Copies of this chain bind each other. A is one copy, B any other.
Amino acid sequence: MSRRFAASALHEFVASALERTGARPEDAGLVTEGLVAADLRGVHTHGVLRAGIYVTRLRAGSINADASLSVVADTGPVAVVDAGAGFGIAMAARAMDLAADRAAAHGAGFVGVRNSNHCGMLAWLAMRAVALGMVGVAISNADSQVAPWGARTKYLGTNPLAIGVPAGEEPPLVLDMATSVVPHSRIQAAEARGEQIESGWALDSKGRATTDPAAALCGALLPFGGPKGSGVSFMIDVLAGLLTGALSGPAIAPLYEQLDRPQGVGHLMLALSVEAFGPKAKFAARVDNLIREVRSLPPAEGYDRVYLPGEREHLSMLDYSRNGIPLPDHVVEATERLAAEAGMDAPQPL
């Protein structure tokens, strides 16, 4: 059984580890909030597990502790910011907040981010706009791991997409997905457990379909949904990477390699004012109605009921904020390693 940890204990530990390494409190606070939010939603691949690599990159200088957002282009509804190779999560959060400011003033706000680093779970970014009653969209490019449809070698990143929509009485709709069939971490997990992977997840180094995780790790992930998902991934690289003036595709440094240089990732944040389109209460009621209609559809064979985008994660969040977060063992071990390196006490389970 997983041990459960209070969100507050994880928050205190991670923020402290980041600050001891030189992060400013305001950056450490945002990064930690983003990481713990992922664990609260059960998305442990993007939770406190990542604190270690952020500390490593901070020490190596490839995350710049002194960075601040600088605006390099601005029309009002559209701005582009340079993240100065700072913390991706903190910079992306500020960019979304800026997009929301612009949406409040103009109806819509786009903020492109260049010269950034890994920005964590996009759902958390989209939900910053949702918390203000807005629609939030977050996309980011990422280092090359995915073969475009019809290619035998990797080129695209897992280029994720999140869309958050405020509801009325119901929890918000929050879609958050990588554009690969599965993330890299899932292949690594299969290899660690000595399991096969499903055909259709990845290619080997010669571009052949493989069920061997070790072969897949030398090859390429496949895009979700065949040519359609491949196309979506392309467009995310173009919009979050090329349009913002960030790096793109194979030019991006992987999170766990080339530790001495910033990743150069790009993001694009969009906030949309619901009120710009019409009465807010009417929209909220219609979203509620859609949620309830879909939730009451008869489930397909093998399903207990139909879940809306982000609904399972929302239920996890309700459970875990009350009863503690059941961290997988490898995440607990990662916090223990980080604690030992930083000369701190590791967070203790409840």
A residues touching B (Cβ–Cβ < 8 Å)? Answer: 72-73, 75-78, 80, 106-108, 110, 112, 135, 147-153, 155, 163, 165, 173, 175, 177, 179, 203, 207-208, 224-226, 228-232, 234-235, 237-239, 242-245, 248-249, 272-274, 276-278, 282-283, 286-287, 290, 293-294, 297-301, 303, 305-309
Q: A153, A235, A293, A303: which has the most chain B beta carbons within 10 Å?
A: A235
CB contact between A207 and one of B149, B249, B300 (< 8 Å): that residue = B300
Task: Please state if B298 and A151 are interface contacts (CB–CB under 8 Å).
Answer: yes
Q: A151, A165, A278, A300: which has the most chain B beta carbons within 10 Å?
A: A300
A242→B173 CA distance, assembly (Å): 13
Task: Please state if A107 and B235 are interface contacts (CB–CB under 8 Å).
Answer: no
Task: Please state if B231 and A228 are interface contacts (CB–CB under 8 Å).
Answer: no
A311→B78 CA distance, assembly (Å): 29
Report B-chain residues with C-beta under 8 Å of the C-beta of A135: 239, 243
* Dominant secondary structure of chain A at its interface with chain B: mixed
Report B-chain residues with C-beta under 8 Å of the C-beta of A282: 245
User: Which 3 pairs, one residue from A and one from B, show the smallest C-beta to C-beta distance?
Assistant: A225-B225, A78-B107, A75-B107
Report B-chain residues with C-beta under 8 Å of the C-beta of A299: 150-152
Task: Please state if B225 and A308 are interface contacts (CB–CB under 8 Å).
Answer: no
Closest to A72 in B: B278
Task: Please state if A235 and B163 are interface contacts (CB–CB under 8 Å).
Answer: yes
Report B-chain residues with C-beta under 8 Å of the C-beta of A297: 147-148, 151-153, 155
Task: Please state if A229 and B225 are interface contacts (CB–CB under 8 Å).
Answer: yes
Task: Please state if A298 and B207 are interface contacts (CB–CB under 8 Å).
Answer: yes
CB contact between A165 and one of B148, B173, B226, B235 (< 8 Å): that residue = B235
CB contact between A234 and one of B75, B235, B309 (< 8 Å): that residue = B309
CB contact between A106 and one of B76, B225, B305 (< 8 Å): that residue = B76
Closest to A222 in B: B300
Report B-chain residues with C-beta under 8 Å of the C-beta of A203: 300
